[in-house]
Every structure is written in C-alpha cells, then in structure tokens.
C-alpha cells in the first residue's frame, strides 16, 4: 500500500479526494492537513460522519514526509509551490492541484506571481491524462490542469490539425459555483447566483493562456484563444463550447471516435452533451458538428472530479504503477 496524504483537506477538491481515497485499494490515507489543523475531518465535512474519522493536522512539511509516500496539494497558487519545494527535495511524490506547476515560467509569472520553485518547474508533468499518460508514469511531480482547460483541451486538441490556426478559437465556458471554491464572494453569494447566469473576466481569464500554451505544446502551433467563462446556478458541472474554423472537410464525430478509441474515460456523444450526465464521474463527454468550415465542439465534465480531484487521483495512480482508473467513480450522480 502506498501511504498518501491530502494537504488542503477543507476545500471542495480536498473533500472529493478524501472520499475516493477512503476506499482506494492501493492507497492508504495517512495524513490530512489544513493551514489551521486541530480538528477532525468529519467536523470539516459532516458528510463523512460514519465514513471516516481522522485528525486534521496543521500543514507541516516534516509531518508529510514522516507520514506519506505521495501527497496531494489542494492549496491555492503560491502557497502550493512553497510547500511542494521541501517535499520534492526529499524525494516525495507530489500531485499539485494548483496552477503553480502547470505552466511554463514566463506564462506563469505573467498571469500569477513570481515563481518560488523554478528548479522543479521543468520536472512537472501536466496531468491531462490522455496526452501525458506515459510521462506521468515516470515523474515525481504531477501538475493538475485547470478545470476549464481540461474540458476545452480534451474537446479541441483532436481537431487542431484540421483547423485554420490563423483564425482565433472562441471558447464559451460555463461552470457550477463549486469551481470558485469555498471562500465567499459577492459573485458566489446565493442571492447573486440563484436564477442567474453571467460572464466573469471575459477575454482576460488566466485559463486562456493555459489553453494556448498546451495547444502549442501538443501540436506545435500557436493559436489565439478568446475565452469567456460564465457562472451558472448549479453546484457542480462544467460545459464548454468551442468555435473554430476548419481548413479541411472532415467528419467531426469520426475524428473524435478515432482519436479517443483507446481512452476509457472519454465518451463521444452523437448529440449535444450536458453536465448532469458527467456529474460525480471522471468522464469527459464530447460532441462535435460542423456547418461548412465552422466547427462546433462541446464537452462536459464534473469540475470537481475530472476538472480537479479524480484527474489528480488518476495521475497518482499512474505515478505509483496502478491502473489509471483505480478507485475513481464512474456512475453519474443525478440529484
């Protein structure tokens, strides 16, 4: 059994990790921590009452090193890299759910802050499973993609060779409120979100450069990405629609089916996708259609699972020699 911990166990993604790890056949959950500590996990998350009882420590590098072989960091950016550095220097395997290791240095510092662990940045493997599966098997540092980039990239990457890459991509993205995390803000208040939908940071959101960077990494072409996220009155789920310009006459669904033929957690749909069908699962559902040279691609994921925690667990599975789907839920939750 591989001993694992979760630092940042108080958040939504931390909860999802704990829920999966409690019954994982290859991982033993040995350490839980937050910035405060001094509580029990079932006190932080009452849904875990009767499922697991375990102390939550104050996050400490030595505590992790003494208790774990691998740790998940469900921390905000900047906090994560400061913590990860000491772990990596001592040979621990790290799966980071923040933005701190998922971007190139110049992209990161332009959109976030000065990087504090440049020496390990180049060692990180971007944990978009279908594209970096083999690389993840040999790394000690996995960098979880953002939820919006996950849904966008899984949808559009198969089509890049068939696109007019001089034309921009337009990405219309919608996410449940849990994607904003637990911290309350004016835009996530019930009175604001209920019976409402609105865009935020249109054309300026920092997931746009992440999408652009990874398209270039996979296909070697630069594309301008116009990205507009929206908040919808739902707890979880994410729907992304991408609009692009084709340079070739293709059958979009056939392209998807051939490209993902050997990927068990990608489902190609024959009609437009929805968020309820992927809620509570690791699946990404994708649909595509064209009208002349106009391409429409739509993908749906659970933002907390495929967009964060279950993708992190799949990466950890691969890093430890397990099947990528071990311990990951596949049955959709329908409220």
Pairing of strands 27-34, 2-7: parallel
308-318: string of b/e by CB count within 10 Å (b at 16+)?
bbbbbbbbbbb
Residue 171 makes CB contacts below 8 A (sequence gap 6+) with 148, 152, 208, 211, 225, 226, 227, 228, 240, 241, 242, 243
Return the bridge partners of 107, or none: none
Q: Which of 113, 147, 284, 320 is catalytic?
A: 147
Note if 113 is an active site residue: no
Residue at token pair 């398209």: 215
Q: What is the CA radius of gyration of the chain?
A: 19
Which residue numbers are catalytic? 147
């Amino acid at each position: 059994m591989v001993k694992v911990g979760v630092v940042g166990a108080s958040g939504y993604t931390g909860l999802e990790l704990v829920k999966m790890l409690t019954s994982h056949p290859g991982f033993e959950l040995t350490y839980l921590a937050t910035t405060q500590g001094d509580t029990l996990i079932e006190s932080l998350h009452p849904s875990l009452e009767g499922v697991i009882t375990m102390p939550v420590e104050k996050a400490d590098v030595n505590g992790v090193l003494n208790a774990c072989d691998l740790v998940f960091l469900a921390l905000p950016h900047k906090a994560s890299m400061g913590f990860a550095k000491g772990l990596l220097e001592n040979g621990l395997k790290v799966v980071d759910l923040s933005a701190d290791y998922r971007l190139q240095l110049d992209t990161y510092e332009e959109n976030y802050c000065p990087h504090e662990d440049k020496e390990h940045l180049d060692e990180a493997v971007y944990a978009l499973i279908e594209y970096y599966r083999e690389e993840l098997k040999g790394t000690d540092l996995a960098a979880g993609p953002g939820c919006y980039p996950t849904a966008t990239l899984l949808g559009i990457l198969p089509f890049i060779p068939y696109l007019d890459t001089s034309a921009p991509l337009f990405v219309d993205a919608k996410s449940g409120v849990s994607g904003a995390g637990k911290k309350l803000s004016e835009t996530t208040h019930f009175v604001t979100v209920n019976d409402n939908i609105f865009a935020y940071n249109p054309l300026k959101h920092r997931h746009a450069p992440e999408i652009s960077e990874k398209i270039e990494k996979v296909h070697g072409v630069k594309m301008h990405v116009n990205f507009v996220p929206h908040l919808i009155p739902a707890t979880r789920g994410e729907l992304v629609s991408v609009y692009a310009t084709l340079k070739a006459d293709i059958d979009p669904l056939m392209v998807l089916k051939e490209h993902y033929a050997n990927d068990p957690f990608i489902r190609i749909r024959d009609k437009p996708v929805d968020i309820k069908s992927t809620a509570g699962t690791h699946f990404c559902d994708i649909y595509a259609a064209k009208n002349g040279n106009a391409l429409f691609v739509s993908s749906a994921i659970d933002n907390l699972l495929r967009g964060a925690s279950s993708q992190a667990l799949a990466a950890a599975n691969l890093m430890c020699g397990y099947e990528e789907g071990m311990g990951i839920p596949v049955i959709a939750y329908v409220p």
